[in-house]
Amino acid sequence: MRIHVRKMMKLKHGEDLPPSAFEGPEIGPNEPVRFVWAKTTRQSATNHAMKKRIIADLRANQHKYKHVPEKDFSRKSVEAAFEQVFVTLRQKFKAQNDVAAATKLKRREAQKSYTARRFSRKKLVRICSPIPAREWPPLSPLPALDRLSISSR
């Protein structure tokens, strides 16, 4: 989805996002997609129109994405994916214009990757060295139970 949105914005890989569009004038079908970065798709008519345009184009060109299953092109799935991409693009736009936002975004991404690596390591440890049920808890009885068995003799 992210790649498709960037193609419709006519941006090359690594290129900065364009400045925010104006709310009033309508963008033509032959012009690249532009968003009002300060607003969400529900707050801005321009952003909502661009969302519809991108989703329609994606569904029309779904034959280009042969490795994506047919069920992933349902309206609900595509809209959810678009919303995620749009939130990410808004964050990147804020980061490219504001140093504080850029450091916050970088810190958040570093924390996400740290957490993902940590959970991956924990999962590998669990899979590679499972503790059999008969070994955990230890087989030796508790000392309190030992005293009970001695006193009952």
Tokens of residue 75, six digits: 């309206």
Task: Find tokens 């808004």 and name the residue.
Answer: 90
pLDDT of residue 127: 73
pLDDT of residue 134: 55
pLDDT of residue 111: 94
pLDDT of residue 118: 92
Express each pLDDT in 91-131 by its tens digit.
Answer: 889 888 888 888 888 898 899 999 999 988 888 777 776 66
- In this predicted structure, the answer to whether residue 33 has a pLDDT above a threshold of 80 is yes
Contact, 36 vs 46, CB < 8 A? yes
- In this predicted structure, the answer to whether residue 132 has a pLDDT above a threshold of 80 is no
Q: CA torsion, points 61, 67, 72, 78, in degrees to nearest 10?
A: -50
- Maximum CA pair distance of the chain? 94
Q: How far apart are CA 88 and CA 105, in angstroms?
A: 10
pLDDT (mean) for 51-56 = 94
Measured between alpha carbons, how far is residue 94 from residues 28, 63, 101, 148 in Å? 26, 34, 6, 69
List all residues 6 or more positions away from 29 whose beta carbon is below 8 Å from its beta carbon. 53
